């Protein structure tokens, strides 16, 4: 057996426990809200530059610079490498892009079916190989907002601070938030071409 081959291949990996405590989640929320918010755009993986399309994606986002939360980035990098070793098996995985803080508000905040990587290759590198989502608020704060994976036919509602790592080429969506506000941290990790 090739010793670098993952023991248990999987393209959608949820952590068994939350990786952030409620306090850590709150720190990320505070940081995210303190940064300049923009209307989220669509277009990754398409031949155009993209733009806002509220039918496809309704949320606001801000970007957390690496130097503003180094410990958080270290912690996430460790979890990502672990998930990669155990499940994905990509070479040379590392942090490549700053984290996105995202807000979806009722009655219609959502993100319809998409993949996170650029299949045209126009925007590479970096190549997005693994994506990660961590909801930052308790599930009781909002209704809807589940994450759904098309090929897997899988719908998940993660606990506050729990992470899902998945292959960036999988089609996924965030269902409409029908009550409250869902806040999440989203990251993408790159590797060798
Ligand atoms: O906010 C989320 O839960 C996921 C968002 C997403 O899929 C993305 O930004 O690519
Ligand atoms: Fe996505």
DSSP 8-state secondary structure symbol assigned to residue 84: I
Residue 102: nearest ligand to its CA?
1
Report the pocket of ligand 1 as residue ranges, CB < 6 Å. 100, 102, 111, 116, 133, 147, 172, 174, 184, 186
pLDDT digits (tens, 9 = 90+) for 53-112: 888 999 999 999 999 999 999 999 999 999 999 999 999 999 999 999 999 999 999 999
DSSP 8-state secondary structure symbol assigned to residue 124: P
φ and ψ at residue 46, rounded to 5 degrees: -110, 170
Cut 0.85: pTM above it: yes
Place of tokens 């850590």: 24
For residue 188, give the ligand 1 atom closest to its CA. 10
pLDDT digits (tens, 9 = 90+) for 106-152: 999 999 999 998 777 776 777 899 999 999 999 999 999 999 999 99
| Protein residue closest via CA to atom 1 of ligand 1 | 184
29, 46, 111: residue to mutate for ligand 1 pocket, most atoms within 8 A of CB:
111
Boundaries of every domain in the chain? 12-191
Q: Which CATH superfamily is domain 12-191 in?
A: q2cbj1_9rhob like domain (2.60.120.620)
CA 71 to chain centre: 18
For residue 135, give the ligand 1 atom closest to its CA. 3
Identify the CA nearest to 32 among candidates 44, 20, 42, 43: 20
Q: Give 132 Cα–ligand 2 centroid separation in angstroms.
A: 9
- Do 134 and 83 touch, CB atoms closer than 8 A? no
């Amino acid at each position: 057996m090739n010793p670098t081959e993952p023991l248990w291949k999987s393209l959608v990996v949820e952590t068994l426990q939350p990786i952030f405590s409620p306090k850590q989640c709150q720190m990320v929320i505070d940081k995210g809200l303190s940064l300049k918010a923009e209307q989220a755009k669509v277009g990754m993986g398409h031949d155009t530059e993209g733009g806002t399309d509220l039918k496809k994606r309704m949320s606001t986002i801000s970007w957390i610079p690496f130097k503003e939360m180094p410990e958080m980035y270290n912690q996430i990098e460790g979890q990502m490498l672990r998930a990669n070793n155990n499940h994905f098996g990509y070479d040379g995985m590392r942090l490549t892009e700053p984290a996105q803080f995202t807000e979806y508000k009722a009655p219609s905040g959502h993100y319809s079916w998409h993949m996170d990587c650029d299949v045209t290759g126009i925007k590479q590198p970096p190549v997005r190989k693994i994506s990660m989502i961590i909801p930052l608020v308790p599930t009781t704060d909002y209704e809807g907002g589940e994450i759904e994976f098309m090929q897997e036919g899988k719908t998940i509602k993660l606990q506050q601070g729990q992470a899902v790592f998945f292959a960036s080429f999988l089609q996924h969506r965030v269902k409409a938030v029908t009550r409250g506000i869902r806040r999440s941290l989203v990251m993408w990790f790159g590797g060798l071409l």
